[in-house]
């Protein structure tokens, strides 16, 4: 399969999985300490399950503003996931680790969406992401034609988690504990391609986060001590490092 066809197939996968994310994004987007949402955003109806649209069946038949917002949210999530998956496929090619990246990418998009909405990275997503990344890469390391190193992935997961935990102890408001747990997963995928990729992805994350925070300060929309959701930048930096590492492998 050519790179173009592979990227197209990955984009289709990303779009289809992205369309399943709005309900989970809606249910997970609650402040810390509150139970996951169980009622429809457009009416007093129960929302069951975790995949699909944010609303219940009755409200999806309504063409009101709530329905239009839900459609827009689904389109954004599907588009972002499709672009991420296509980029990963173009960078990785037919190597077996591509399957791991395509399985983890929708979870990363979901985490970014939730963190942007409520500044929260749920344990129900971050911990399984880290465990799945290490487990799937462990299996991939047994397959021919892979280009990564599983022991480095494990060490990087532990190193990034420990480093972010130290930052959390120094400044809990600036580095949430959810970021610490997310760092274990991002460290695993970056570590697959070696320590230079880990350093690049981590640097990119802090650079993007710093630029965003600086822009908010200049626009007078935040102060120097205002907290910002770091999860999306950690994930974006990881994507940048992963693409670079895959191209170079």
Give the pLDDT confidence score for residue 215 in this predicted structure: 83
Q: How does pLDDT run across 140-194, given as a tens digit for each residue? A: 999 999 999 999 999 999 999 999 999 999 988 778 899 999 999 999 999 999 9
**Overall average pLDDT of the 217-243 stretch:** 84
Give the pLDDT confidence score for residue 59 in this predicted structure: 60
pLDDT above 70 (res 128): yes
Residue 171's CB is within 10 A of a number of other CB atoms, namely 10
Residue 223's CB is within 10 A of a number of other CB atoms, namely 8
What tokens were used for 236? 């974006």
Q: What Å distances lie between residue 1 and 4, 51, 92, 245, CA to CA? A: 8, 31, 13, 21
Cβ neighbours of residue 219 closer than 8 Å, sequence gap 6 or more: none
Q: How does pLDDT run across 67-99, given as a tens digit for each residue? A: 556 677 889 999 999 999 999 999 999 999 999
Give the pLDDT confidence score for residue 57 in this predicted structure: 58
Q: Could you tell me the end-to-end alpha-carbon distance of the chain, in angstroms, rounded to an integer?
A: 19
Q: Please answer whether residues 213 and 222 qualify as being in contact, where contact means their C-beta atoms are separated by less than 8 angstroms.
A: yes
Higher per-residue pLDDT: 211 or 61: 211
Give the pLDDT confidence score for residue 43 in this predicted structure: 61
Residue 5, phi then psi, degrees to nearest 5: -65, -40
Question: What is the C-alpha separation between 89 and 235, in angstroms, rounded?
Answer: 17
Quick one: CA dihedral 103, 80, 23, 27, positive or negative? positive
pLDDT above 80 (res 51): yes
**Overall average pLDDT of the 11-15 stretch:** 97
Give the pLDDT confidence score for residue 63 in this predicted structure: 47
Q: How does pLDDT run across 28-47, given as a tens digit for each residue? A: 999 888 889 888 766 667 88
Number of domain units in the chain: 1
Residue 182's CB is within 10 A of a number of other CB atoms, namely 29
- Domain that includes residue 241, residue range: 3-248
**Overall average pLDDT of the 110-131 stretch:** 95
Q: State the pTM of this model.
A: 0.92
């Amino acid at each position: 399969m050519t790179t173009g066809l592979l990227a197209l197939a990955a984009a289709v996968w990303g779009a289809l999985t992205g369309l399943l994310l709005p309900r989970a994004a809606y249910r997970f987007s609650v402040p810390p300490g509150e139970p996951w949402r169980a009622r429809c955003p457009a009416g007093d109806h129960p929302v069951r399950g975790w995949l699909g649209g944010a609303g219940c069946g009755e409200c999806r038949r309504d063409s009101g503003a709530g329905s239009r917002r839900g459609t827009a949210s689904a389109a954004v999530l599907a588009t972002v996931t499709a672009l991420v998956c296509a980029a990963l496929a173009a960078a990785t090619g037919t190597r077996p680790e591509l399957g791991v990246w395509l399985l983890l990418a929708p979870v990363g998009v979901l985490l970014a969406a939730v963190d942007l909405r409520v500044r929260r990275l749920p344990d129900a997503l971050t911990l399984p992401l880290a465990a799945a990344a290490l487990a799937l890469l462990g299996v991939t390391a047994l397959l021919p034609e892979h280009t990564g190193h599983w022991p480095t992935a494990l060490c990087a997961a532990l190193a990034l988690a420990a480093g972010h935990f130290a930052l959390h102890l120094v400044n809990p408001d600036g580095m949430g504990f959810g970021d610490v747990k997310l760092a274990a997963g991002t460290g695993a995928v970056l570590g697959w391609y070696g320590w230079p990729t880990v350093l690049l992805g981590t640097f990119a994350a802090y650079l993007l986060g710093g630029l965003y925070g600086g822009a908010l300060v200049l626009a007078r929309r935040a102060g120097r001590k205002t907290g910002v959701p770091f999860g999306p930048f950690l994930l974006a930096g990881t994507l940048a490092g992963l693409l670079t590492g895959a191209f170079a492998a």
